[in-house]
Chain A
Amino acid sequence: MGYKFSKDEMAKIFAKLAQDYDVFAPVVKKGDGTFSDVDVVRYDQVTSLDEIEFNKKSDYSFKEALLPINETLFYFTEDETTVPKGPEKKRLIFLRSCDIHAVKRLDQIYLDNKFEDFYYKRTREMVRFVLMGCPNTCENGFCASMGTNETNQYDLYIKVNGDNAFVDVKNDEFTETFKNGALEDVKPDFVKENKVKVTLPKNITKETMSSELFKEYGSRCINCGRCNFVCPTCTCFSMQDIFYKDNEKVGERRRVWASCQVDGYTEIAGGHGFRNDNSDRMRFKVMHKIHDFEQRFGYQMCVGCGRCDDVCPEYISYSTLINKLAKECE
């Protein structure tokens, strides 16, 4: 059902929603972007509508709200473990179409790659998604090429336009909250075309794996891992045990985001590593995004949000690399 409100009415409803739900949305953080004094748009908990950045694409994806950068799995003493409580309130996450498609990829790994992940699942069950429309294409995104530019997999759609706000309610859980609005036909804004267009390589073979392109792009990479950390579909983590200074018998086991571009990712005892060369790491990342995942699960992993291109300090363009690879594979 679609409704129209004044922006003020919407702000009031929102404030009430924020009491019942923990709301996570992109907000502008002053001066801690890639190039230090540039603002960065990142997810955080908000309590009012004004805090939400509706226009600019978030530099980091929503995934922090589902998969914390570091997450305590359990506290331990020498012979006991205690699992921390999960979220007590339901969560609302504001995100765009490409990112809603990314949720499906996270679910795939954390709920449906043989084992179910206890921590992800208990948070995921509490989450409702609020779609933010895209009236215009973002800078480096190529959602239309990846078929992620449209979605109907949202619980709410909210658009603020001047003094008005529009809502489309898909989940009955919210019908009561919005029922006093003026009925209106509300259709989300979806982009049809991006500036960046990507053609995926067809006929990927063993020869593709040794393409010079991976050398060329890999040699510029400084292994900072940012392309993985901003990606809404990257899911890797490492385990970490920490103990407390004042009582060494007590501590916690955590999982922490990991990056396949950073040193140590494949390292095993004795200092052996499997992809010591940057060209191999670049190939590994790109192949996962546009080939391996698809081979395993039947659809592409990359949703074309373009964040990896936005963030790379070496101006490595993943989308350009894919297009060149597609040409090579013709």
Chain B
Amino acid sequence: MKNEYIPQLSEIKEVIKHTDLEYTFRMAFDGEVKPGQFFEISIPKYGEAPISVSGIADGLVDFTIRRVGKVTNEVFENYVGDKLFIRGPYGNGFDIENYKGKEIVIIGGGTGVSPMRGVIQHFAANPQDAVSTTVIAGFKSPEDVLFKADFEEWSKTINVIKTVDNAPEGYEGPVGMVTKYIPDLKFKDIENAVFICVGPPIMIKFTIMEIQKLGIKDEQIWTSYERKMCCGLGKCGHCKMGDKYVCLDGPVFNYTEAKELFD
């Protein structure tokens, strides 16, 4: 039987620097992957960290990593040609089929954009698959914006609102929290709208409150949860919420399910 704990060495093919603290590592990987799934990335001696897939291409997966501690700091010491250990993919991921033919609104905060990037890419490349696609992405300041090149590319085919919480004087572009843009959203048929919203817990909370004011039903909302994870395999217990294991049953949840989950 397969020993799921054993990671495979994977080569870093490209490093894309977004900010001082956030890089995308493009890594070699062959196999099925869905946006919203995650891998355990590790460096012997430093440990493992669960990281979402932020892009998928033939023989490649992207990980957009924020350096915050032991493992992630050490990841940043590696360059193109170096290798990292990875195992996965784990979790359910987003199912593109759920959003086809809908009026899609994708709302992300900071690194929360990563797990949804694959979904955005699909609808940016195939805009005819949806009635409409709108992305609202929020970052702390202009220096914190991730995926700058992507936003330019995406805005050619779908609606993109890239906003920052605070900006220095003279900054051109939207300023304010993502929640600010929700009341102005227009729909042809509100029953046919779907929302995907990923970010820090506090951002998810306020965003969903705002979405609900539009009259959107719980089953039209999707989110992804981040919890402490040591295994990704439904064994270590750290990610359990109620009767769900975020690593197995999530991290992507429809809000009908997500709202029932207690920490």
Chain A residues proximal to chain B, CB less than 8 Å: 73-74, 76-79, 81, 83, 109-110, 113-119, 121, 209, 235-243, 248, 251, 253, 255, 258, 260, 265-270, 274-275, 280, 284, 287-288, 291-293, 295-296
A274 to B5, CA, bound (A): 26
A267 to B68, CA, bound (A): 13
Minimum CB–CB distance from A237 to chain B (whole Å) comes to: 5
Q: Which B residues, 88 to 138, have Cβ-Cβ distances below 8 Å to chain A?
A: none
* Interface membership of B45, Cβ < 8 A: yes
Residue of B6, B46, B243 touching A74 (CB-CB under 8 A):
B6
Residues of A within 8 A of B227 (CB): 266, 268, 274
Residues of A within 8 A of B6 (CB): 73-74, 81, 83
Q: B234 touching A113 by the CB < 8 A rule? A: yes
Q: A296 touching B230 by the CB < 8 A rule? A: no
Q: Which B residues, 180 to 230, have Cβ-Cβ distances below 8 Å to chain A?
A: 226-228, 230
3 closest Cβ pairs, A-B complex: A236-B237, A295-B243, A118-B3
Q: B1 touching A121 by the CB < 8 A rule? A: yes
Minimum CB–CB distance from A277 to chain B (whole Å) comes to: 11
Determine the main DSSP class of A at the interface with B: mixed
Q: A239 touching B47 by the CB < 8 A rule? A: yes
| Contact A269 to B234, CB < 8 A, known contacts A209-B262, A240-B47 | no
Residues of B within 8 A of A116 (CB): 1
* Interface membership of B9, Cβ < 8 A: yes
Residues of B within 8 A of A265 (CB): 228, 238
Q: A118 touching B2 by the CB < 8 A rule? A: yes
Residue total for B at the interface (Cβ-Cβ under 8 A): 37
Residue of B2, B69, B72, B248 touching A114 (CB-CB under 8 A):
B248
| Contact A241 to B263, CB < 8 A, known contacts A114-B233, A236-B238 | no
Residue of B1, B7, B83, B245 touching A118 (CB-CB under 8 A):
B1
**Can you name the residue of chain A whose Cβ is closest to the Cβ of B247?**
A114
* Interface membership of B16, Cβ < 8 A: no
Q: Which B residues, 218 to 260, have Cβ-Cβ distances below 8 Å to chain A?
A: 226-228, 230-231, 233-238, 240, 242-245, 248
Q: B235 touching A110 by the CB < 8 A rule? A: yes
| Contact A260 to B263, CB < 8 A, known contacts A121-B1, A241-B46, A296-B243 | no
Minimum CB–CB distance from A246 to chain B (whole Å) comes to: 14
Q: List 22 A-B contacts (CB under 8 A).
A: A73-B6, A81-B6, A113-B234, A113-B245, A113-B248, A116-B1, A117-B233, A118-B3, A118-B4, A121-B1, A237-B231, A238-B236, A251-B44, A253-B42, A255-B230, A258-B236, A260-B237, A269-B68, A274-B228, A284-B263, A287-B242, A293-B243
Q: B235 touching A113 by the CB < 8 A rule? A: yes
A214 to B9, CA, bound (A): 46
Q: A280 touching B238 by the CB < 8 A rule? A: no
Given A73-B6, A115-B235, output 11 extra A-B contacts at Cβ < 8 Å. Answer: A76-B44, A79-B9, A110-B235, A113-B245, A116-B1, A209-B262, A237-B231, A239-B236, A269-B68, A288-B240, A291-B243
Q: B234 touching A258 by the CB < 8 A rule? A: no
**Can you name the residue of chain A whose Cβ is closest to the Cβ of B4?**
A115
A291 to B5, CA, bound (A): 29
**Can you name the residue of chain B whose Cβ is closest to the Cβ of A73?**
B5
* Interface membership of B48, Cβ < 8 A: yes
**Can you name the residue of chain B whose Cβ is closest to the Cβ of A228?**
B237
Minimum CB–CB distance from A82 to chain B (whole Å) comes to: 10
Minimum CB–CB distance from A328 to chain B (whole Å) comes to: 18
Q: Which B residues, 1 to 60, have Cβ-Cβ distances below 8 Å to chain A?
A: 1-7, 9, 42, 44-48
